Amino acid sequence: MSTLYIALGANLGRPQAQLMAALDLITAHLTLQACSPLYLSPPKYNTQQPPFTNAVCAVSTSLPPLPCLHLLQRLEDHLGRQRDSNDRNGPRCIDLDLLLYGQQCLATPELTLPHPRMLERRFVLQPLADIAPQLHHPIANTTITQLRDACPDPDTLTLLAPAGWYPATLPG
């Protein structure tokens, strides 16, 4: 079994409910080990859109990396994700990114591991540090906490829900 880390994000519709629905689907296929607190973050790259709700989860699986990516893409499609090749940083109802798969490094046309932009994203590093602070990044060869502390991203995150929000039920 391998541990993989998945970043979850949404900024359209009811983002917290959509992240919860994504986790329900993920846990139907993979074994949940941990889920981070929930954060609100300003949009990156394309700033003319609503803020994002973000979290990171750790799961275990015996699936290899590429089938895991394909599974996440199918789950996104099931949840209504519309891919816009002209605006890959645009608003979305759900985004599931495979960040790390154990200590594997991989570079294919479909998948790069570790995720190539995770080190520049506070909205990834903070929730990842919440659940795996001593995890070593296989290329940077330092802990996730150290990477979070050195992150050049100036964005401030707002805590929306502490750890334990999933699998709790949503109010109203």
In terms of Cα–Cα distance, which of 91, 137, 102 is closest to 117? Answer: 137
Cα–Cα distances in Å, from 126 out to 26, 36, 89, 142?
A: 21, 9, 20, 15
Which among 14, 24, 74, 97 is annotated as catalytic? Answer: 97
Clarify whether 74 is annotated catalytic: no
CA pair distance 139, 25, nearest whole angstrom: 30
Which among 77, 83, 95, 117 is annotated as catalytic? Answer: 95
Please identify which residue in the block is written with the tokens 């995150």: 157
Beta-ladder partners of 53? 10, 40
Clarify whether 92 is annotated catalytic: yes
Which among 74, 81, 87, 121 is annotated as catalytic? Answer: 81
Q: Between the CA atoms of 149, 151, 155 and 161, what dihedral angle is there, to the nearest 10 degrees?
A: -50
Cα–Cα distances in Å, from 131 out to 13, 70, 125?
A: 27, 24, 10
Which among 83, 92, 117, 130 is annotated as catalytic? Answer: 92
Clarify whether 83 is annotated catalytic: no
Clarify whether 81 is annotated catalytic: yes
Active site residues: 81, 92, 95, 97
